[in-house]
Chain A
Amino acid sequence: MSSVIVAGLVSGSIYALIASGLSLVWGALGVFNFAHGALLMAGAFVAWFVSDPAGLDLGLTAGVLTSMIFMIAAGGVLYVLLVRPWLGKPAAELTVIMTTVAGAMFLENLALYTFGARLKALDQVVTGTVSVAGTAMQAQNLLVIVLAPVLLGGLALFLKLSKHGLAIRAIAQNDEAARLLGIRIERTYFLTFAVSALLAGVAGVMIGGLFNITPSMGSDPLLRAFLVVVFGGLGSLPGTVIAAYLIGLIEAASSYYIGIYWTPVVLFSVLILVLLVRPNGLLGRAP
């Protein structure tokens, strides 16, 4: 029972980090980044390459820091190359799906080309097991469970209190009024992508420490994040986070009690049920 909760919270944390980045971009720009999973993968590979003895061997701290800086730049570059040229054009929504799908294809094959298909693992930030309230768990799991809410809280504060966080929300809600306040739309879009990529990078490093690093490691979490944003309603951060933890827990419970192969069926049934009742997601707004 308690191991189910631990597993659910770990997945929920990771999904929340991934999905909140997707949701943020959707809210501000009205486009969906299908390369988000590939970004996550790239973040994990950079951290691995910098830290691992088979790479630069500079230690985990350097690896994680480099990866975070890399992610900020990667998010920005992705925006400039794959999103900005189509914003405001007819069918931007569909075209950006395509360009980011192509971007994902490029990044995954680049990783495959550069690093090969052999499984890699990131060192764990913390090792060993700890016991919380009578439940033994890997220290790394505990770290994920604690760190994710801290980061998501930080994100919420950034969006509520900081000048540029408020600007991201402003362009999502009324971009003309935002421009009339002097908000630089371009720069704010760039920033949105950078923040979103940074969150994906953190998720990538977490996954890399718990499981394996492979060129396709981003696709499964991305698909779960799709479910999360549909559940939670795109563009609503609280909805996204709640849905992420719900899905993580449902998944863990159904894997444990019903069987791992039935989990997608359970998730999909819940999804259909939610959408039949609330077509804009659990906490979503009508568009």
Chain B
Amino acid sequence: MSLPSTPLRLAAAVVVLLLAILLPFVVTGGAAKNLVVLALLFAVVASNWDLTLGYAGIFNFAHVAFFGIAGYVSAIATIYFGLPVWLDIALAVAVVAVLAGVTAALALRLRGIYVALVTFAFVQLCVALIISQKWLTGGAVGLVGVPDLALFGHRLSPSGPDYLILAELLLIASTVFLRFLVRSDFGLSIVALRDNEAYAVARGISATRQRVLAMVASSLFTAAAGAVYAHYLIVASPDVFSFSLTTLILSMVLLGGGATIYGPIMAAIALTVVTEQLAGFGVVRFMIIAVLIVLTLRFLPGGLWSLGERLTVLRRNSKQGIGA
């Protein structure tokens, strides 16, 4: 993968940081702020999914369920057991990590498409359990009354910039974590397994262990985002397990470009905004998004991110005078 040169990357990082600092001051309107919070949280979910789907090539369709389950863990821990806030988020991350590990260990006995089918079925199991165990989960309505987060006695308020800043911090932390992972030996090993399993295994890489670890790693920030989401909305709702949310987040990964981390983040923000802009079109917007997905896969298989990469390469080549 060709990334921009170091000074360029530095400049990009500075710009992004500046934007991040400015964002809470610029976006103050209720609806717009809500949109940005959602976009940032979905960006966390999409980019973490990219770790398993894009880098490791695991057809894990339970990823968005990790997000949803974390919300329920948070809600149950705070509402029924009075666990202090923040601790419940840590608990949600821990529970989901274990769950991801177990799911991976079971599902990864299978190959390719079977993994997709079984993880899909797993999501259905979650939904059914949540809807049926009304006494614990609130059933189809969801579990309402998740307390607001608080810091040093200050309650994070949904009307102020607090959740926006929190979502930003979460996304930055998650992105640093993911970029570090994919460039580490671990990241190289899961890509090697994806591209040529027999060869990678012959080189001494343990296929199952690395894949299980990838699933667990991808679940950590996803779960944190899910817990924050529940705090933010004050409710853990079964809606997050719906096929349409999985489809939406999947489109973020794909439109952005798999195995890039940055691509899905960009696409998450773009898609959330576009979806909102198209809100006037009603259901037609989903038809438009569907067409966009197919067109992107057809004509830009590397996603939007690859477009940026191509431009950078072109420019660098022409600068060095080797552009034909």
Query: Are A and B in direct contact (Cβ within 8 Å)?
Result: yes
Interface residues of A (CB under 8 A from B): 26, 32, 81-82, 85-86, 89, 91, 93-95, 97-99, 101-106, 109-110, 112-113, 219, 223, 226-227, 229-230, 234, 259, 261-265, 267-268, 271-272, 275-276, 279, 287
Q: Within the assembled complex, what's the spacing in Å between the Cα atoms of A113 and B281?
A: 10
How far does the Cβ of B295 sit from chain A's closest Cβ, in whole Å? 10
Contacts of B287 in A (CB 8 A): 105-106, 109-110, 113
**Which of A81, A97, A262, A271 contacts B121, CB < 8 Å?**
A271
Contacts of A234 in B (CB 8 A): 113-114
B-side interface size class = 35 or more
Q: Is the CB of A112 within 8 A of B283?
A: yes
Q: Is the interface of A mostly helix, strand, loop or mixed?
A: helix
Q: Is the CB of B109 within 8 A of A263?
A: no
Contacts of A102 in B (CB 8 A): 247, 251, 289-291, 293-294
Q: Is the CB of B291 within 8 A of A263?
A: no
Q: Within the assembled complex, what's the spacing in Å between the Cα atoms of A86 and B114?
A: 20
* Interface core residue of B284, B286, B301 (most chain A CB under 10 Å): B286
By Cβ-Cβ distance, the 8 closest A-B pairs, closest first, are: A261-B132, A264-B128, A106-B290, A102-B293, A102-B290, A109-B286, A105-B290, A226-B117
A286: nearest residue on chain B (CB-CB)? B111
Contacts of B247 in A (CB 8 A): 101-102, 104-105
Contacts of A229 in B (CB 8 A): 117
Interchain Cβ contacts under 8 Å between A and B, 28 examples = A26-B113, A32-B113, A94-B59, A95-B301, A97-B59, A99-B294, A102-B290, A102-B294, A105-B244, A105-B287, A106-B287, A110-B287, A113-B282, A227-B117, A230-B117, A230-B118, A234-B113, A261-B131, A262-B132, A264-B128, A265-B128, A265-B129, A268-B121, A268-B122, A271-B118, A271-B121, A272-B106, A279-B110
Contacts of B290 in A (CB 8 A): 102-103, 105-106, 109
Q: Is the CB of B109 within 8 A of A275?
A: yes
| Given A261-B131, A264-B129: A230 in contact with B121 (beta carbons within 8 A) | yes
Contacts of A110 in B (CB 8 A): 287
How far does the Cβ of B100 sit from chain A's closest Cβ, in whole Å? 16
**B233 at interface (Cβ–Cβ under 8 A)?**
no
Q: Within the assembled complex, what's the spacing in Å between the Cα atoms of A31 and B155?
A: 51
Total contacts A-B at CB 8 Å: 111
Q: Is the CB of B286 within 8 A of A226?
A: no
A229: nearest residue on chain B (CB-CB)? B117
| Given A86-B297, A98-B250, A275-B118: A93 in contact with B286 (beta carbons within 8 A) | no
Q: Within the assembled complex, what's the spacing in Å between the Cα atoms of A186 and B301?
A: 23
**B112 at interface (Cβ–Cβ under 8 A)?**
yes
Apart from A97-B113, A98-B297, A102-B291, 15 more pairs, CB < 8 Å: A82-B294, A94-B59, A102-B290, A105-B289, A109-B286, A109-B287, A110-B287, A226-B117, A261-B128, A261-B131, A268-B122, A271-B121, A276-B109, A279-B109, A279-B110
Q: Within the assembled complex, what's the spacing in Å between the Cα atoms of A101 and B243?
A: 10
Contacts of A264 in B (CB 8 A): 124-125, 127-129
B124: nearest residue on chain A (CB-CB)? A223
Contacts of B297 in A (CB 8 A): 86, 95, 98-99
Q: Within the assembled complex, what's the spacing in Å between the Cα atoms of A99 and B294?
A: 6
Q: Is the CB of B294 within 8 A of A81?
A: yes
Q: Is the CB of B128 within 8 A of A32?
A: no
Contacts of A276 in B (CB 8 A): 106, 109
Contacts of B200 in A (CB 8 A): none
Q: Is the CB of A263 within 8 A of B120?
A: no
Contacts of A98 in B (CB 8 A): 250, 254, 293, 297
**Which of A94, A103, A113, A271 contacts B294, CB < 8 Å?**
A103
Q: Within the assembled complex, what's the spacing in Å between the Cα atoms of A226 and B293?
A: 23
Contacts of A95 in B (CB 8 A): 297, 301
**B116 at interface (Cβ–Cβ under 8 A)?**
yes
Contacts of A105 in B (CB 8 A): 244, 247, 286-287, 289-290
Q: Within the assembled complex, what's the spacing in Å between the Cα atoms of A228 and B294?
A: 28
How far does the Cβ of A234 sit from chain B's closest Cβ, in whole Å? 7
A96: nearest residue on chain B (CB-CB)? B297
Contacts of B131 in A (CB 8 A): 261
Contacts of A279 in B (CB 8 A): 109-111, 114
**B298 at interface (Cβ–Cβ under 8 A)?**
yes
How far does the Cβ of A28 sit from chain B's closest Cβ, in whole Å? 14
Contacts of A271 in B (CB 8 A): 118, 121
Contacts of A262 in B (CB 8 A): 132
**Which of A93, A104, A113, A227 contacts B284, CB < 8 Å?**
A113
B residues 244-298 with Cβ under 8 Å of A?
244, 247, 250-251, 254, 282-284, 286-287, 289-291, 293-294, 297-298
How far does the Cβ of A116 sit from chain B's closest Cβ, in whole Å? 10
Contacts of B53 in A (CB 8 A): 94
A30: nearest residue on chain B (CB-CB)? B113
| Given A95-B297, A105-B247, A261-B128: A223 in contact with B118 (beta carbons within 8 A) | no
